[in-house]
Structure 1
Amino acid sequence: MKKRTAARSVAAVVGAAMVLTACGGGNNAAATTAAAGGSETQATAESSGGGNITKTDIVFAQASDVVTLDPAGQQDTTSGVLMKHVYSTLMDIDDDGNLVPDLAESYEMKSDTEYTFTLRQDACFSDGTPVTAKDVKFTFDRAKDMPKTKSNTSKIEEVIADDDQHVTFKLTQPYAAFKTIITNSNLSIVSEAAVTAAGESYGDVDNILGSGEFTVTEWVPNDHYTLARNEKYWGEMPIATTITCRVIPEGSARAIALEAGEVDLVWNVDATDCANIEANPDVTLLSQTSSSIEYLGMNTTKEKFKDVRVRQAINYALDKQAFVDTIIEGRGTVANSYINSMIPGWTDEVEAYPYDPAKAKELLAEAGYPNGFECKIYVNGDVRTRSAQIIQAQLAEVGITVDISTYEWGALLDSLNAGEHEMFLLGWSNSSFDADGSTYQLFYSGNHGATGNRAFLTDDKVDELIINAQKESDDTKRMELYKELQVYLHEISPWCPLYYKNDNVGVRADLKGFKLHKGATHYLGNCHYED
């Protein structure tokens, strides 16, 4: 998470207190954690400030590479890591899950369909040119025409650059989640001049232009990328001089690299490697309840999966506890619903499908598949491949033969976006802590494919509930709509929700300046070593 001062957080509250009170929306993630019973180890590699800084070149490891350097060309959490360090958004979510200023120092809700943001006077891109309201307008107008951002901008009727510092958004309908939607990394503000000059090549290392704490100096796809401190950054200067991300797909190899001192931090420690890291005094495991969900998705346009009885059968055929026990070694819980338990709007009134192979066979027979059928599942990475093997074994018990197709991350997303798949394994992380971020992109019929609805679900009742919840300003009524939506999704079963996992980050024991972000968009800019 970017370094945001307490003064900025106070400014957000003072400048927009009326808005936050009027709209509700449940942005107090700390309170949500307590209500959900989640435990968090916010262990810390934060600096005591008492030593001499000796190393500011930081290396970390991730399982996958970014898919692009253009914010509007991505919606995946891996690419979002880079975006949050290189670009800025109008508003942001801080380490504790609170809405705070970023490029906008304040905003005013003039009506339930009109917002005006006041930009910081000192904000500039890494070439020194100022960030203006025209750049904001250009960013959102451009995003409305791009597949991976159109869902986030679909309620924007018009963006008006009032002057250099003020920009007004007029919405087509009341949209309770709007103020958190604009924190998404794919709505990071880009330079109109830079994008126009680069044309379709925008996203190459030598032509991107952000206003964040770092710039991209090198990107070798599927190997590494390197960020360098932006000396013209308009906010508090980061401590880290460079940040290099090494792409290490295998979880055990990431853990070994951390223990050997080859990397300073592992972003995503596989659960199977957590115990070894906990036992090693040279490294530290930081863990917290995540805001993500791991799920098996089904393409509802494919012949076998059009039948709700087939989708329900697969839910009955899978022992979800087996995934918790073996894949994440107990570091998480069975997912009962389609929204993570950390997100306001989640309900415990939906129960996960019980493991019942006999019921699964009964439903398959009713659907015309008494002997089962053959199908394919698309996955990436070693963890999801192991999950797919469990799915393969458990579905075989009810007559379904599953062929596992493993892809590199970017290739997997391309295949899913094109709708080639029958089943797939993915996770979805909601760093905005608004239930709209767990539903609209994923299940609304207008968002098929790259926009997020990779189950290709089209259902009038789902659409109606999602839109009604977006329009509802009364927070209690809005949460009831999300409960009704979860109950209905459970019934029609476009997914098989598997588990809510912990976020596990491994760091060198003497690393300073790192803190977990509740939405797992951790900030690395203050990582360093001291005497």
Structure 2
Amino acid sequence: MLSKKARFTFATAIIGSMIAMTGCSGGNQSASTGKSAEKPAASTPAGKKVINISLKADPPSLDPSQSNALVDRQVQNSIYDKLFDLDKDGKIVPVLVDSYEVSQDGKVYTFKLKTGIKFHDGTEFNAEAVKFNIERDKADNSRRKNEMNFVQKVDVIDPQTVKVELSEPFSPFISILTDRSGMMVSPEAVKKYGDDYLNHPVGTGAYVFVEHVNGDHVTLKKNENYWNGKVNIDELNYKVFTNGTAAVQNLKSGQLDFIDEVPTKEIKGLDNNPTAKVVAKAGMAYQGFYLNTKQEPFTNKFLRQAVNKAVDRDAFIKVVLDGFGTPANSPFGPGNLAFGDSDKVEKPNKQEIKDLLAKGGKPDGFSFKLQIGTSPVNEQFGAVIQNMLKPYGIQVELEKVEFGTMLENGANHKFQALQLGWSGRPDPDQSFFDFVVTGQPNNYASISNPELDNLAKQARVELDPVKRKAIYDQAMEIVHDESEYVHIYHDFNRFGVSKKVTGFEYIPDGIIHTQKLDKK
């Protein structure tokens, strides 16, 4: 058997992070709280170290098997350790796994686990727990089912060794274990709480769950027995701020220590601030909007193409992001294995767009409804799209929708157009397969193209990186033709950080990693 390090490498310095374009319910925050102007700021007991982190939306689920939102991951990464994770260079490194091997045919993975680790409820982390988690993620009701579809069998060799057999080679497998499929939950907690487990999450991570007040905050406390080094902070509070400007005000006043996403318009105001700074670096995501291929008017491919080509990416980035982004025409940003010419974008060609409208039977244009989030940035997103499409007779009606409802509408295909992005993952498959293959969970646009399905499946089982890249290039030609999603830009992760906070290490996954944080 060959070691994984000898057989695979992953290029992961991918640009772009999902903007707060899908925030939850709006409202004005005071300078002391994340939800209402009436609630006073909580006092901090003397000597207690507390870090307050703003989230652009309320986390829908803290259960990794059910989660599908970036804000979930912000909290989950403090509660759960993963089998693997990313380092500051975006490279995959073992965490709960001590060492591992991969068979010559790429179908058998043997994991040797670290020892002496316990879940927050005192139960042992071991090979049985890994088997439980993988099989749970394979279940029909799990959002991780597709990621684990290739897993055929999980065997416990001994308490610290687990063998995973795949039905065929699956290139993204280790990369998938750096995300929610690699988060290890307590089997006993799942058995105890059942469907209510999302309200009682238990992992092995640096922080222990205390409470989740929907729409307001999630509180975690220090894991006093953390296996992977000292935890310096006594309490983490994730506070919901749908208004990014209000979050910045709270950061400046000291009521917040972190902002998960600084509005681009606020960056200059923090450049020389004595109490806070901005960390703006390349991430892994893309942003844009879906066009529902099963609802009029977007059952017509030519009309989808017209909308796609009418969006001026450069102008959008200048107006909405103040230049903090790069134009996108694919889910693959610079640094991704599949990045290349498929991501290049041309300026809108007026005659080409008119020709497409004529081919689609709507030479004078048409109208459609675009669902957007409720924050001011969402509104700006929608207004800019409206203005860009209007000269072609394409009228856009904006409908503001709460974040959780947007996810439900996407999953149930209840929209004409829907503004949602993706926070990105290290392997191209994780930003592609679920979004374009017939019947997959993130295929909100309901695209169904047998040739595209086949190419996406080929890319998953191909182990040669050069051959995989060629397959993705071919697949993207079909995606551009289908135009079921309008890729607009690759964003930057934009964290606001108090200068009292120390130990922060930027990781290109867009997550605020809290394990090593301290506070002056």
Normalising by structure 2, we get a TM-score of: 0.90
User: Helix, strand or coil: the match of 2:495?
Assistant: strand
Which residues in structure 2 correspond to 1:36-435 (within 5 Å)?
56-110=49-103, 111-144=105-138, 145-204=140-199, 207-348=200-341, 350-380=343-373, 381-431=375-425, 433-435=426-428
User: Helix, strand or coil: the match of 1:71?
Assistant: coil
Give the match for residue 482 of structure 1.
Answer: 472
- Distance in 2, matches of 1:274 and 1:136, equals 42
- 1:200-251 Cα offsets, whole Å, 9 max, x none, are 22112xx332111111111111111111011122221221111101111011
- Distance in 2, matches of 1:396 and 1:186, equals 43
Cα distance, 1:137 vs structure 2: 1.6
Of the three residues 18, 26, 33, the one matched with 2:3 is 18
Give the match for residue 39 of structure 2.
Answer: none
Cα distance, 1:28 vs structure 2: 4.2
Specify which structure has the higher proportion of helix.
1
User: Helix, strand or coil: the match of 2:472?
Assistant: helix
Of the three residues 458, 461, 485, the one matched with 1:468 is 458
Cα distance, 1:17 vs structure 2: 7.2
- Distance in 2, matches of 1:129 and 1:119, equals 16
- Distance in 2, matches of 1:379 and 1:80, equals 21
- 1:163-212 Cα offsets, whole Å, 9 max, x none, are 321211111211111111111125411222221121222112xx332111
- Distance in 1, matches of 2:234 and 2:341, equals 45
Counterpart contact for 2:49–2:234, Cα < 8 Å: yes
Q: Greater shift after overlay, 400-409 or 82-91?
A: 400-409
Cα distance, 1:423 vs structure 2: 0.7
Counterpart contact for 1:292–1:500, Cα < 8 Å: yes
1:187–1:146: structure 2 CA closer, same or farther, 3 Å change rule?
Answer: farther
- Distance in 2, matches of 1:155 and 1:446, equals 17
Give the match for residue 19 of structure 2.
Answer: none
Structure 2 gap segments, 5+ residues each: 17-45
RMSD, matched Cα = 2.0
- Distance in 1, matches of 2:346 and 2:296, equals 23
Q: Is structure 2 residue 486 aligned with structure 1 residue 493?
A: no
Query: Identity over the aligned pairs, expressed in percent?
Result: 27
Give the match for residue 493 of structure 2.
Answer: 503
Cα distance, 1:102 vs structure 2: 1.6
Counterpart contact for 1:87–1:188, Cα < 8 Å: yes
Counterpart contact for 2:75–2:238, Cα < 8 Å: no
Letter in 2 for 1:129: T
Counterpart contact for 2:277–2:499, Cα < 8 Å: yes
Q: Is structure 2 residue 462 aligned with structure 1 residue 454?
A: no
Of the three residues 496, 520, 523, the one matched with 2:513 is 523
User: Helix, strand or coil: the match of 1:304?
Assistant: coil
Counterpart contact for 1:75–1:185, Cα < 8 Å: no
- Distance in 2, matches of 1:157 and 1:239, equals 41
Moved over 3 A (4+): none
Cα distance, 1:121 vs structure 2: 1.5
Normalising by structure 1, we get a TM-score of: 0.88
- Distance in 2, matches of 1:322 and 1:281, equals 32
Cα distance, 1:55 vs structure 2: 6.2
- Distance in 2, matches of 1:74 and 1:202, equals 12
Counterpart contact for 1:378–1:424, Cα < 8 Å: yes
Structure 1 gap segments, 5+ residues each: 1-15, 37-52
Give the match for residue 3 of structure 1.
Answer: none
Give the match for residue 25 of structure 2.
Answer: none
Cα distance, 1:503 vs structure 2: 1.2
Letter in 2 for 1:523: H
Counterpart contact for 1:372–1:399, Cα < 8 Å: yes
- 1:394-429 Cα offsets, whole Å, 9 max, x none, are 222222222211122112111111110111112212
User: Helix, strand or coil: the match of 1:305?
Assistant: coil
